[in-house]
Amino acid sequence: MWFKSLRADINAAKRNDPAARSKFEIWLTYSGVHALSWHRVANFFYRIKCKTIARCLSQLCKFFTGIEIHPAAKIHPGVFIDHGAGVVIGETAEVYPGVVIYQGATLGGNGKEQGKRHPTVKENVTVSAGAKILGGFTVGEGAKIGAGAVVLKEVPPYATVVGIPGKVVRINGEKVEEADLDQDKTDPYAAELNQLKERLEALEKTLYNGK
Q: What is the pLDDT of residues 173-195, one digit of tens each?
A: 777 765 444 555 555 566 677 77
* Parent domain of 123: 2-210
pLDDT band at residue 171, thresholds of 50, 70 and 90? confident
Share of the chain above pLDDT 70, in %: 91
Residue 135 has pLDDT above 90, yes or no: no
Q: Kindly indicate the confidence band of residue 68, based on its pLDDT and cuts at 50, 70 and 90.
A: very high
Sequence letter at residue 27: W
Q: What is the pLDDT of residue 210?
A: 61
pTM of the model: 0.76
Total of domains in the chain: 1
CATH of the domain at 114: 2.160.10.10
What per-residue confidence (pLDDT) applies to 185?
52
**1 against 30, higher pLDDT:** 30
Higher-confidence residue of 19 and 125: namely 125
Can you give the pLDDT at residue 55?
Answer: 93
More confident residue, 39 or 20: 39
Residue 17: per-residue pLDDT: 84
Whether residue 42 has pLDDT greater than 90: yes
Q: What average pLDDT is seen over the chain?
A: 85
